[in-house]
Amino acid sequence: MNVLLTGGLGYIGSHTAVVLSHLGNQITLYDNLSNSTEIVAKNIEKICGQKINFVKGDVRNTETLKHVLTSFKIDSVIHFAGSKSVAESVKEPIEYYDNNVQSTISLLCAMRLAQVKSLVFSSSATVYGDPLYLPFDEQHPTNPISPYGRSKLHIEEMLADVAASDSEWCIACLRYFNPVGAHDSGLIGENPKGIPSNLMPYIAQVASGLREVLNVFGNDYPTRDGTGVRDYVHVMDIADGHAAALTYLRKHPSWQSINLGTGQGYSVLEIIDAFEVASGKSIPFRVVPRRAGDIAEFYSSTIIAQRELKWKASRDLINMCASTWKFQTQLTKS
């Protein structure tokens, strides 16, 4: 299959590129490099042992996208490109709606022009908002609490309307929980620009000495040790989930939202412990006040992903931490 990955040089896109390429797909990566670099393309080629198509471009440029879709004879698109910081979205909602919602409209227009109607979209567990019950299943009401989360929900709703209007469309919205970890080679991983806002890359930078101390945002939550609990899922498992979704879409036209998580939550203190074991480094931390907008605890139901995609996460927490650490040490060396 010929697959276009928008945002294909980013964290999740690059790992998915490796998985799809190993499965024999022809992949084309389309990225404006706003949050990545061309070195990632070189490292994907090293891992896959073959040349990869990369086109530098913005998803909001419908004409270029249409040209790419037709000239590379694309069968399916995975749409990773977008902006992903909750805090930034509160400060810059217009930019977020532009780069998430507007860019998806541009992609849909290009796909319609090129007659490509198979799409996997990167959604997020943030569409659920505060849990009314746990685990979050796909029936849980959606009530996102940030412009970022609302942009994801608006896109999902838009995609449902598109699928309802034309039965040839096949669309899967994958709601990721907390992707972490890196490819076993240590060549690709999560490398945020500036100060990391997510827990795992922050811990990795503390372990490598780039940052002095981890701030633990609150230890007075109603959780088993008072710190926030999340469903961390290995990025290679997430990548496998995309391959499963593409297979699923070949047999199931229409629209569906599916959670990608492990079903297991870990607290911040448990993540620190696991990282210390995996890296052999100690992680100094201090408890600071809660971060605004944080939810105490959430994790995923895995029933729909197992039933529909035949997908289940298989990599454990130590693997998530060890692969993050391997990537971080190679980054620090280079």
Name the site residues for ligand UDP (rule: CB under 6 A): 178, 197-199, 202, 214-217, 228, 230, 268, 291, 294
Q: Which is nearer to ligand UDP, 188 or 216 (CB)?
A: 216
Using the rule CB under 6 A, which residue among 62, 99, 146, 319 binds ligand NAD? 99
- List the single partner that 317 binds among ligand NAD, ligand UDP, none, CB under 5 to 8 Å by kind: none
Q: How far is the CB of 221 from ligand UDP (least distance, A)?
A: 8
Interaction between residue 231 and ligand NAD (CB under 6 A): no
Q: Whose Cβ is closer to ligand UDP: residue 72's or residue 217's?
A: 217
Q: Which does 215 bind (CB under 5 to 8 A by kind): ligand UDP, ligand NAD, none?
A: ligand UDP
- What are the C-alpha distances in Å from 224 to residues 220, 227, 230? 10, 8, 12
Q: Which does 228 bind (CB under 5 to 8 A by kind): ligand UDP, ligand NAD, none?
A: ligand UDP
Other residues' Cβ atoms within 10 Å of the Cβ of residue 112: 15
Which two tokens mark 324?
A: 């993050």
Position among 3, 4, 13, 54 found at the interface with ligand NAD (CB under 6 A): 13
Cα angle vertex 41, ends 40, 43, to 5°? 65
Catalytic residue among 11, 30, 148, 232: 148
DSSP conformation class of 81: -
Considering the complex, state which of residue 109 and residue 287 has its C-beta at the smaller distance from ligand NAD. 109
328 in helix, strand or coil? helix
18 binds, among ligand NAD, ligand UDP, none (CB under 5 to 8 A by kind): none
Residue 108 CB, shortest distance to ligand NAD, in Å, is 14
Q: Which residues contact 211 (CB under 8 A, 6 or more apart)?
A: 202, 205
Q: What tokens appear for 150 in the block?
A: 């609302």
Q: How remote is the C-alpha of 172 from its chain's centroid? A: 14
Residues in region 20-49 near ligand NAD by CB under 6 A = 31-36
Within 10 angstroms of residue 36's Cβ, the number of other Cβ atoms is 21
Residue 216 to residue 224: CA distance in whole angstroms: 15
Asked if 148 is an active-site residue, the reply is yes
Largest CA distance in the chain: 55
Give the Cα separation of 240 and 12 in Å (integer): 11
Binding partner of residue 13 among ligand UDP, ligand NAD, none, CB cut-off 5 to 8 Å per kind: ligand NAD
Least Cβ distance, residue 177 to ligand UDP (angstroms) = 8
Quote the distance between the C-alpha of residue 290 and its chain's center: 24
Task: Give residues with Cβ within 8 angstroms of 167, minimum separation 6.
Answer: 253, 254
Q: Where in 167-206 is the site for ligand NAD (CB under 6 A)?
A: 176, 179
What residues line the site for ligand NAD (CB under 6 A)? 6-7, 9-13, 31-36, 58-60, 80-82, 84, 99, 103, 122, 124, 176, 179
- Which residues are known catalytic residues? 148
